[in-house]
Each structure stands twice: as structure tokens, then as C-alpha cells.
Amino acid sequence: MPRRNLLVGLGSSLGAFFGGASRANAASKAQDPTWQLSDAAWKQRLSPAAYQVLRREGTERPFSSALNGEKRAGTFLCAGCALPLFSSKAKYDSGTGWPSFWQPLPNAIATQVDFKLLVPRTEYHCKRCGGHQGHVFGDGPKPTGKRYCNNGVALTFKPDAKSAAKS
């Protein structure tokens, strides 16, 4: 009997684990009440691709974002609420096909662990609206050694005044 209970418990645990990994998750809850919008409001506000990433925690195809090659001085903002998330000074070419940064701006993101690929990863969201941005990996450049791998569709870019004048 104890052996049967062990197998049933293990089966239930694995079912919950694998079942949870396959479902589409909603974005994290907005920390700013102003940005706790309904699903319908987010769908109206965002493009279908941005909605899928920011609100359903999807991932865009690598090398599909023009922001991957953006090299001007400026700031990368959340496409959902325009909160500044990264400085162009922290951007680098990781070769992964997604815009990558070695450091976010202060108080810009919130992190949580996800198991969608069965192994724990650190996922990050816009701290203000809760929109999913990407994942943090430990293979980035110094000084942090971190790589914030961002979905380009989850960002907009605002060039510095000098960069904007040159374009």
C-alpha cells in the first residue's frame, strides 16, 4: 500500500508540474494600480504580437526585431506602459537574436522563477505594468555577468536628443 501511494503521489506531482508548464500564463500583476487594465483593454492597446509577449508571456522569433540591431544612444521602454527599462549603454550583441542588456535601469523590472521549459529560469517583467519582457541568464558580460534577453516587441526605443538629431 505505501508503494502505491508513493506512485499515485508522484504521478499527481508530475501531472501538475507538466500541466502547469504547458499552459499559457498571464503577465505578472501590475505593481502600479493605474496599469491594472482588463484583458480587453490590453488587446486594444497593443498589437497582437506585443499582446502575446507582454500579456501572455510568449516569445518572439529570434532575429525578428529591428531593435536587436539598434545601436543609437537612447533608452529602451516597455511597449506596454513606456516605463524606461534599459539604457543603450547596457545593450550588447549577444548573438542570440534578441535585444540583450547586461543591466536594467534602477527599479525598472521585477523577477520571478518560471518552469515553462521544465528547468528553472528567471523571468522578468516591467515593474510598473507587469508586462513580460524576457529572461535573465548568467552568461552575460562583465560587470554583472548577466544577460537580460528581451523580446524586441515588448520594447520601444527613444533615442537621445543628439542621436535623434543625427537620424
CATH of region 26-166: 2.170.150.20
Tens digit of pLDDT for each residue in 98-119? 999 999 999 999 998 877 777 7
Tens digit of pLDDT for each residue in 6-26? 333 333 333 333 333 333 455
| Cis-peptide into 120, omega within 30 deg | no
Given the residues 78, 81, 129, 149, select the one marked as catalytic: 149
Give catalytic status of residue 129 as yes or no: no
Q: Global pTM?
A: 0.80
User: 13-33 burial, b for 16+ CB within 10 Å, e for fewer?
Assistant: eeeeeeeeeeeeeebbebeee
